[in-house]
Amino acid sequence: MRAPKTISAALFALAFGAVATLPAQAVFAQNKLDSTAKKVGNKTASIAVKGAMAITDKIYKGKEGPNGETVYINKKDKKYIVDEKGKKVYLKPSQIHNKKE
C-alpha cells in the first residue's frame, strides 16, 4: 500500500511544479512583448517626428550629424537631429560635419 501514496505524492509535486512555473513563463512572455511594443512605439515616434520636421523645419543640406543623421534647422536657427526615440537632440557646431559622398 506504500506505492499509491508515493505515486500520488510524486504526481502532486509534479503538478505543483508545473503550476508554479506557468506564471514565471507568463511574466517572461509579457516582458518580451513589452520590450517589442516599446521598440515599435519608438520607431513610429521617430518616423513621425522626422516627417513633421521635414515639413516645418529646414533640412541642413550637405551636412550630417555625428553618426550620419539628417540635421534640421528650426526657426531660431538651432541645429538638431531626431534620435531613435523621436526626441530632438540639439547639436553643437563641432558635432556637425559635411556629408560623406
Count Cα atoms within 13 angstroms, Cβ side, for 3: 0
Phi-psi region of 77 (alpha: psi -120 to 50; beta: other; left: phi over 0): left
Residue length of the chain: 101
For position 92, what pLDDT does the model report? 94
Nearest CA-CA partner of 59 in 43, 71, 77, 44: 71
pLDDT for the residue 91: 93
Distance CA(63)–CA(45), nearest Å, equals: 23
* pTM beyond 0.95: no
pLDDT in tens, 47-67: 887 777 777 888 889 999 998
Asked if residue 26 has pLDDT above 70, the reply is no
